[in-house]
Structure 1
Amino acid sequence: MSGLVSTKVVLALNAGSSSLKFALYEAATLAPLCRGGVTAIKEKDQPAQFSAKGEAAAALSAGAGPAPDIDHEGAARWLIGAIGERLAALPIAAVGHRVVHGGADFDRPVLVTPDILKRLEALSPLAPSHQPHNLAPIRSLLESAPQLPQIACFDTAFHRTQPRLAQLFPLPREFAERGVLRYGFHGLSYQFIAEELRRLGGARAEGRTIVAHLGHGASLCAMRGLESVATTMGFTALDGLMMGTRSGAIDPGLLLHLVMQEGYSPKDVHSLLYERSGLLGVSGISDDLRALEENATPAAEEAMALFAYRAAREIGSLVSALNGLDRLVFTAGVGENSPSTRARICASLGYLGLALDEAANARNALTISAPSSGVETMVVPTNEEAVIAQAAQHLLHAG
């Protein structure tokens, strides 16, 4: 741990379905110290693995790793314990968590109490593939370290600036009155990108922007003045774009057909739409776009083409909500690292005046549009953990 000065730190946790990503920051300055994660949590035939990089990584990795069959609660306890034992000079001042669903009530980060946790658990049916995993580390730490401040940061909060019409479903009014609304997700990522665009400045910084968060989960967000005005995900994180294993938007009549004519149970429909569709379902090969890019089969090609087609079509919808487009930003795993996917999507957007610089796109440059392009097109890496740490620091300073 040579070179590390004794200082309090903020720990940012980002729990996924089978992973627990983390990042350590100095509490006073938010200087990054270390980031990594526990992967393959509760995955069949795969032991959990820990990895880390950064200034504190060597010391944190020294010693026994997590148990092979650890769950999310256990992974959080192990990580907190490892930091306390192996990075004793870096006591944890607070832990920030990504929580996918904040519902209608939570429009900003909050300090978690047992009552707040109960309210967030009640939202789990709205994000069944995410919320329970997000809350597991919080529950564990409330029990094992109740004195440790925990801050919940919500993926839905960024979208609360949307106008009411963008949030409504065309259902009887009683549904909206009891909270059945379009909430939108990936808000921590969109907040980071908005702040980066503000920092980068330029004539189009506050203009009409669409951000494409393309990863295993995927969505689009239309921004005006760097605030959300529309997004592709809705009541749940299943809506909108085609994703790794999720279908995205689908005809509800098809779902009625599966239930009423083919005997599908609700559990069958859930498994189909969340776990067996998207890139995996169409290709029959993989939910990882990198694997499909390496595969020359017609099914892999069709899956990638459909992914791009659905993204370009939804971009057109958001252009209508913005009444034009000044800037398109790609982010997240696929958006940041797949030139071919960006090229496929942009090839359908020439009607907007968008022209791609092929060489810049190939090297994942910051600006990938040609100088003559009517739409500035960019690749901006996201950092959800930085947003979480910033929120935790703010609440700490607020007392």
Structure 2
Amino acid sequence: MTDAILVLNGGSSSLKFAVFEGRDELPLVLRGNVASLGQHPRLRVEAVGDQPVIERSLGDGPIDIAKAFATVASLLADRDLLHRIGRVGHRVVHGGRDFTEATRLDARAIEALRLLEPLAPIHQRINLEIVALATGLLPHAPQVGCFDTAFHSTRPAVAKTYGLPHTMTEAGIIFYGFHGLSFSHHALKLRGPAG
């Protein structure tokens, strides 16, 4: 059964992960992170249900995002979760002007997102590397990107346009805004159950 959803959020110094049941309420199965990738990396898995907190050193030297992902993949295998994962969600920092909602990350989308690396040179590369690693681990699972810039995409042009020549604006040099997934989450929470 492939009902679970794996969510991945990679950054320059950490890889956060969570697994949810694929039901309406999205019950949490597993959540944690691999942090401090640059020095003294650590795995932390939060307590969920009857599972205890796990904190484990991954050595003294730096590790890259691929090693952090391998640590998460090993944990998922140890918990017998890999065969249950049917979808993978990714936080992607930059969606540019074209990616303004959750999008299936097929080859065409990945290529378009690679072109945005200069706008988020550290995070975009890492985000797309994680997509490739997750696709290799779970080739049957659709990979879906959610974009930090999407939250800001509906702002009026006056709020997105810099005082630059119009040709630069047309070329995509605009204010995109970041951390939009966090803002979106908080906006939903503030709205409350009444909507």
TM-score tier, shorter chain, comes to 0.7 to 0.9
Q: Which residue of 1 aligns with 2:126?
A: 133
**Displacement of 1:65 after TM fit?**
7.1
Report whether the alignment pairs 1:33 with 2:38. Answer: no
Structure of greater Rg? 1
Report whether the alignment pairs 1:103 with 2:96. Answer: yes
Deviations 1:8-29 (A, max 9, x none): 3211111121100112211113
Return closer, same or farther for 1:149/1:74 CA change in 2, 3 Å cut-off. farther
**Cα distance in 2 for residues equivalent to 1:100 and 1:89:** 26
Secondary structure of 1:184's aligned partner: coil
**Cα distance in 2 for residues equivalent to 1:89 and 1:127:** 31
**Displacement of 1:114 after TM fit?**
2.1
Q: Which residue of 1 aligns with 2:76?
A: 83
Letter in 2 for 1:193: H
Q: Which residue of 2 aligns with 1:240?
A: none
Letter in 2 for 1:37: N
**Displacement of 1:72 after TM fit?**
0.9
Please tell me whether the aligned partners of residues 46 and 53 of structure 2 are also in contact (alpha carbons under 8 angstroms).
no
Report whether the alignment pairs 1:195 with 2:191. Answer: no
**Cα distance in 2 for residues equivalent to 1:194 and 1:88:** 32
Return closer, same or farther for 1:93/1:60 CA change in 2, 3 Å cut-off. farther
Equivalent residue in structure 1 for 2:48, among 29, 33, 55: 55
> Superposed, which structure 2 residues align to 1:1-399 within 5 Å?
8-28=3-23, 29-41=25-37, 43=38, 46-55=39-48, 58=51, 61=54, 69-88=62-81, 91-199=84-192
Structure 1 stretches lacking a partner, 5+ long: 1-5, 206-399
Please tell me whether the aligned partners of residues 60 and 87 of structure 1 are also in contact (alpha carbons under 8 angstroms).
no
**Displacement of 1:74 after TM fit?**
2.7
Q: Which residue of 2 aligns with 1:221?
A: none
**Cα distance in 1 for residues equivalent to 2:86 and 2:53:** 17
Kindly indicate which of the two structures has a greater share of residues assigned to helix.
1
Secondary structure of 1:34's aligned partner: strand
Please tell me whether the aligned partners of residues 103 and 156 of structure 1 are also in contact (alpha carbons under 8 angstroms).
yes
Please tell me whether the aligned partners of residues 9 and 24 of structure 1 are also in contact (alpha carbons under 8 angstroms).
yes
Please tell me whether the aligned partners of residues 4 and 22 of structure 2 are also in contact (alpha carbons under 8 angstroms).
yes
Secondary structure of 1:161's aligned partner: coil
Letter in 1 for 2:16: K
Higher relative contact order (CA 8 A, sep 6+): 2
**Displacement of 1:88 after TM fit?**
4.1
**Displacement of 1:113 after TM fit?**
1.2
Deviations 1:279-315 (A, max 9, x none): xxxxxxxxxxxxxxxxxxxxxxxxxxxxxxxxxxxxx
**Cα distance in 2 for residues equivalent to 1:77 and 1:179:** 36
Letter in 2 for 1:124: E
**Displacement of 1:48 after TM fit?**
1.8
Please tell me whether the aligned partners of residues 5 and 20 of structure 2 are also in contact (alpha carbons under 8 angstroms).
yes
Letter in 2 for 1:135: L
Secondary structure of 1:84's aligned partner: helix
Please tell me whether the aligned partners of residues 160 and 175 of structure 2 are also in contact (alpha carbons under 8 angstroms).
yes
Return closer, same or farther for 1:136/1:59 CA change in 2, 3 Å cut-off. farther
Structure 2 stretches lacking a partner, 5+ long: none
**Cα distance in 1 for residues equivalent to 2:52 and 2:80:** 7
Please tell me whether the aligned partners of residues 59 and 87 of structure 1 are also in contact (alpha carbons under 8 angstroms).
no
**Cα distance in 2 for residues equivalent to 1:89 and 1:14:** 18
Letter in 2 for 1:15: G
Kindly indicate which of the two structures has a greater share of residues assigned to strand.
2
Secondary structure of 1:54's aligned partner: coil
Please tell me whether the aligned partners of residues 11 and 94 of structure 1 are also in contact (alpha carbons under 8 angstroms).
yes
- Name which of structure 1's ranges 50-59 and 93-102 shifts more when overlaid on structure 2: 50-59
* Number of residues of Structure 1 aligned to a counterpart in Structure 2: 193
The Cα RMSD (Å) is 2.7
Secondary structure of 2:136's aligned partner: helix
Secondary structure of 1:55's aligned partner: coil
Return closer, same or farther for 1:48/1:89 CA change in 2, 3 Å cut-off. closer
